[in-house]
């Protein structure tokens, strides 16, 4: 037991010496990541997928009750989705479909592009040839991949803002 505590203490001292800082820690001498994320404006989206991703990003990056960003940064999103058949069985009459969502994003500081990237996620769902159930399954799949993509984008933005 004492040996385990000693090893753990040595590991903690090693981490302290390497300059490791938690991503969302409050920084001295500069804005913390949470405040910087809240300063990102995201323009209205033209598609339903874009709306879902935008709303998810806004709700995860801004304090509760805040709807407007600080205007220091602007995030442009270009979402795209593709759906394809994975498995088509005649008996039972079930088709497995795959949905891929890819989002190209670009962060601007004023008029200067400071970060670009692509985030993507894939999920699958069943089509059972019942119109309402099929529509709900596709909607649920779209919302799941949109959430995954928005989490990836937020993490990349936070990592960039922590370095700058």
* DSSP calls for 110-150: TTEEEEEEEEEEEEEEEE-S-HHHHHHHHHHHHHHHHHHHH
Q: Find, among 38, 41, 33, the residue nearest to 62 by Cα.
A: 38
Q: Is position 11 within any domain?
A: no
Cβ contacts of 86-91, under 8 Å, gap ≥ 24: 86/124
pLDDT tens sequence across 111-126? 999 999 999 999 999 8
Does the residue 3 lie in any domain? no
Angstrom distances, CA of residue 126 to CA of 49, 78, 100:
20, 27, 15
| Kind plus residue range of the DSSP H or E element containing 12 | helix 2-17
Residue 57: partners with Cβ closer than 8 Å, 6 or more residues away: 42, 75, 150, 153, 154
Is 103 a domain residue? yes
Q: Is residue 27 situated within a structural domain?
A: no
Question: Per the domain annotation, does 40 fall within a domain?
Answer: yes
Query: What's the total number of domains in the chain?
Result: 1
Query: Can you give the pLDDT at residue 137?
Result: 92
Average pLDDT of the chain? 84
Could you tell me the residue range of the domain that residue 49 belongs to?
A: 32-163
Inside any domain, residue 8: no
Give yes or no for residue 19 having a pLDDT over 60.
no
CATH of the domain at 98: 3.30.160.150
Residues 6+ apart with CB under 8 A from 130: none
Residue 106 pLDDT exceeds 60: yes
Confidence band of 62 (pLDDT split at 50, 70, 90): confident
- Residue 91 domain-assigned (yes or no): yes
Percent of the chain whose predicted confidence (pLDDT) is above 70: 79
Contact 35, 67 (CB under 8 A): no
Q: Tell whether 7 is covered by a domain.
A: no
Whether residue 141 is predicted with pLDDT greater than 80 in this model: the reply is: yes
Q: Which of 2, 103, 89, 92 is nearest to 51 (CA)?
A: 103
């Amino acid at each position: 037991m004492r040996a385990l505590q000693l090893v753990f203490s040595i590991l903690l001292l090693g981490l302290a010496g390497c300059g490791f800082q938690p991503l969302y820690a409050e920084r001295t001498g500069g804005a913390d990541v949470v405040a910087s994320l809240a300063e990102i404006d995201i323009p209205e989206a033209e598609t339903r997928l874009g709306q879902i991703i935008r709303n998810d990003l806004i709700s995860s990056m801004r304090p509760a009750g805040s709807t407007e960003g600080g205007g220091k940064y602007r995030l442009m999103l270009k979402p795209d989705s593709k759906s394809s058949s994975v498995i088509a069985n005649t008996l039972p009459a079930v088709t497995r479909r795959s949905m891929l969502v890819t989002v190209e994003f670009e962060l601007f500081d004023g008029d200067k592009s400071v970060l670009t990237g692509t985030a993507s996620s894939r999920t699958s769902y069943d089509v059972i040839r019942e119109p309402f159930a099929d529509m709900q399954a596709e909607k649920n799949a779209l919302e799941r991949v949109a959430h995954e993509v928005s989490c990836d984008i937020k993490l990349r933005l936070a990592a960039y803002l922590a370095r700058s």
